[in-house]
A = this chain, B = another copy of it.
Amino acid sequence: MVDIATRVWNHKWKIDPIVRSLIDTDFYKLLMCQSVFRNKPDTQVTFSLINRSKHIRLADLVDEGELREQLDHIRSLSLSRGESTWMRGNTFYGKRQMFSPEFMDWFENMKLPPYHLEKRDGQYELTFEGSWPEVMLWEIPALATLMELRGRAVLGDMGRFELQVLYARAMTKLWEKVEQLRDVPDLRLADFGTRRRHSYLWQDWCVQAMLEGLGDKFIGTSNCRIAMHRDIEAIGTNAHELPMVYSALADNDADLQQAPYDVLSDWHAEHEGNLRIILPDTYGTAGFLKHAPDWLAGWTGIRIDSGDPAEGAETAIRWWKSRGEDPRDKLVIFSDGLDVDKIVSLQAQFAGRVRVSFGWGTMLTNDFKGLVKDDALAPFSLVCKAISANGRPTVKLSDNPNKAMGPADEIERYKRVFGVGDQVAREVVV
């Protein structure tokens, strides 16, 4: 039977929104936002979209009007009562009241600041300026919007059955991954795929497929809206933007060298247990660990987000041992460029030696590779980063020179200050 009201509603709805809620974002953005709200609320930052896959000419593929419509819609969003209740009342990482009443009061009244959009050389220049706690919340919605609009541009030309078969193929592909992962003993896997997902509905499908297919091996999702709706754990800790902005704010080389540890010192004061996860690669993992204060060795774990992941984990294990810690008590979270084969081999290599978990992103929520002509839906590498703080440029080095960003002279300065030597370049696919 046709539900006439629903049909009519569908017609009058001006757009089918890509981002439906302010909590359709990664959990760690909210955790970091609260930290920034507490510790650096007045910092002025600029975030910018950066397409690392230059061959994807986004401005040729995505209509500017549609993009503006989606971004305007995101700016119209505010926290709903139910979302606020969930954030205030839910248990995150075993803790109640993770978000303070002061932060929630502010977040409930927050709307995202304006955006600046221009086309240049077949790409969109999309930037956001303003106070850090507000601007930082643009990252995930902006990325998800561009990723999905690029997909919609391709899907728009397809027939009804072609479309159905496309999703049939994508479902089959994902389910085959789930079936492979199901057999991996002691696996612990989370969805980290919000930013580069094919679409919200598809991410939601992927999460439900993992819930059914992996059972306890699926530990949760980084997406707060999906975590809330599916009643599962929201997962995430912190990201490069904290050391990047803290470092940009440093007035001299000595302060700069200290900045990444200041980030974790603030974090230490706020969080405990499984939220105490080191992200060591912003300015090179080796140097970061070498100069780290002893209290950091007491943290729960480390997240490996660039460079060779096995090498990163081995480095961490050596470091823990050198600081008198037992690696078997420590958690290693792999979150860079994962797909089934890599998950299986990393689990085999490190299970029993450390506690292992995986944050699976793009190849979970956007593996449409090879499914349409010209591979027009293959995922690509889009990021949205803090590029300046209080007027100073930010820098990221990471353990892969292909992921480095910032002005060339500043990159050289950071390399010198952090003692980063030769690095092995690795292809950045997603």
Instruction: Name A's B-contacting residues (CB within 8 A).
Output: 1, 3, 5-6, 9, 159-162, 164-165, 167-169, 171-172, 175, 208-209, 212-213
Contact = CB atoms under 8 A, between A and B. Distances in A.
Contacts of A6: 1, 3
Contact of A167 (B160, B162, B168, B213): B168
Contacts of A167: 168
Nearest to A5: B1
A209 B172 contact: no
A232 to B, nearest CB: 15
Contacts of A172: 165, 168-169, 172
B3 A9 contact: no
Q: Which 5 A-B pairs have the closest CB atoms?
A: A168-B168, A168-B171, A165-B175, A3-B3, A161-B212
A5 B167 CA distance: 30
Given A3-B3, A165-B172, A168-B175, 8 more contacts: A1-B5, A1-B6, A3-B6, A162-B212, A162-B213, A165-B175, A165-B209, A168-B172
Contacts of A175: 161-162, 165, 168
A3 B212 CA distance: 26
22 contacts: A1-B3, A1-B5, A1-B6, A1-B9, A3-B6, A160-B212, A161-B175, A161-B209, A161-B213, A162-B212, A162-B213, A164-B171, A165-B171, A165-B172, A165-B175, A165-B209, A167-B168, A168-B168, A168-B169, A168-B172, A168-B175, A169-B172
Contacts of A213: 161-162
Nearest to A176: B165
Q: How many copies does the complex hold?
A: 2
Contact of A212 (B9, B159, B169, B212): B159
Contacts of A169: 168, 172
Interface-centre pick from A159, A160, A172 (highest chain B CB count, 10 A): A172
Nearest to A7: B1
Nearest to A167: B168
Nearest to A175: B165
Nearest to A159: B212
Contacts of A160: 212
Contacts of A159: 212
Contacts of A165: 171-172, 175, 209
A159 B167 CA distance: 19
A164 B175 CA distance: 10
A3 B3 CA distance: 6
Among A159, A162, A165, A175, find the residue whose CB has the most chain B CB atoms closer than 10 A: A165
Contacts of A208: 161
A254 to B, nearest CB: 55
A181 to B, nearest CB: 14
Contacts of A164: 171
Nearest to A1: B6
A209 B168 CA distance: 13
A6 to B, nearest CB: 5
A165 B169 CA distance: 9
Contacts of A171: 164-165, 168
A196 B161 CA distance: 23
A208 B212 CA distance: 30
Contacts of A162: 175, 212-213
A172 B176 CA distance: 14
A234 to B, nearest CB: 22
A172 B169 CA distance: 6
